């Protein structure tokens, strides 16, 4: 039977969805309004722009004849599977998203989802204080290098419901660490 009539396994794709930022069972998929809009824009870009371009390339490559040695066709089909996998992932996440707008929260010194928290990492030697600022965001929008941490990360969980002036502990790869909350903002 020709490869054109066989279906590739979808089990790999379902496993990939589980590996990408899993949400623990029973927890909601909270997102900030900006994170939701970013995911929505990515989905629109993939559906309206990227996928049609790749489909056009694959269609052209298929019309050239022998598909078994056609690089454009083979790469195009692979890229199409990647795009379709990402589209399915985004649709599933957007469907279960619960959007929270931090700017609508009343001013408080307590940390909740969406808060931008400035804290000092407390070192045992206390030679040089390490001050950091992070916004607590959803699983899909977290990026520590850009100052956004997930609300289910160890630091995120430790910070939730704490107040300015509180010292909280959290587990890290190097052992338990402590931090002191200096400021909480909702923007």
DSSP secondary structure of 14-78 = HHHHHHSS---TT--EEEEHHHHHHHHHHHHHIIIIIHHHHHHHHHHHHTTS-STT-HHHHHHHH
pTM: 0.76
* Closest by Cα among 160, 167, 158 to 120: 167
Where in the chain is CATH 3.10.50.30? 102-185
Q: In what order do the strands lie in the sheet with 177-185?
A: 148-150, 130-137, 116-122, 177-185, 167-170
Average pLDDT over the chain, rounded to whole?
A: 85
Domain spanning 102-185, CATH class: alpha beta
The band of 166, judged by pLDDT with boundaries at 50, 70 and 90, is very high
Q: Tens of pLDDT along 91-110? A: 999 999 999 988 888 878 89
- The pLDDT score that the predictor gives to residue 125 is 60
The band of 181, judged by pLDDT with boundaries at 50, 70 and 90, is very high
Calpha distance 43→97 (Å, rounded) = 14
Fold adopted by 11-100: Helix Hairpins (1.10.287)
Where in the chain is CATH 1.10.287.180? 11-100
The band of 83, judged by pLDDT with boundaries at 50, 70 and 90, is very high
The band of 13, judged by pLDDT with boundaries at 50, 70 and 90, is very low
Q: Tens of pLDDT along 25-44? A: 767 789 999 999 999 999 99
Calpha distance 140→97 (Å, rounded) = 10
Q: Are strands 97-100 and 148-150 parallel, antiparallel or unpaired?
A: unpaired
Helix, coil or strand: residue 91: helix
- The pLDDT score that the predictor gives to residue 20 is 59
């Amino acid at each position: 039977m020709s490869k054109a009539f066989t279906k590739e396994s979808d089990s790999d794709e379902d496993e990939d969805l589980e590996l990408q930022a899993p949400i623990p069972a029973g927890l909601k998929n909270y997102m900030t309004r900006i994170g939701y809009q970013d995911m929505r824009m990515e989905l629109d870009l993939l559906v309206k722009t990227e996928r049609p371009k790749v489909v056009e390339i694959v269609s052209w490559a298929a019309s050239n004849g022998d598909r078994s040695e056609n690089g454009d066709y083979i790469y195009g089909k692979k890229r199409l599977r990647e795009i379709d996998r990402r589209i399915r992932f985004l649709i599933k996440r957007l469907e279960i998203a619960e959007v929270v707008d931090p700017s609508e929260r009343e001013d408080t010194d307590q940390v909740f989802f969406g808060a931008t928290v400035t804290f000092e990492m407390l070192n045992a030697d206390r030679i040089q204080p390490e001050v950091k600022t992070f916004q607590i965001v959803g699983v899909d929008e977290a990026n520590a290098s850009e100052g956004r941490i997930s609300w289910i990360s160890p630091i995120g969980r430790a910070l939730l419901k704490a107040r300015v002036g509180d010292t909280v502990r959290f587990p890290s790869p190097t052992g338990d660490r402590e931090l002191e909350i200096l400021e909480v903002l909702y923007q």
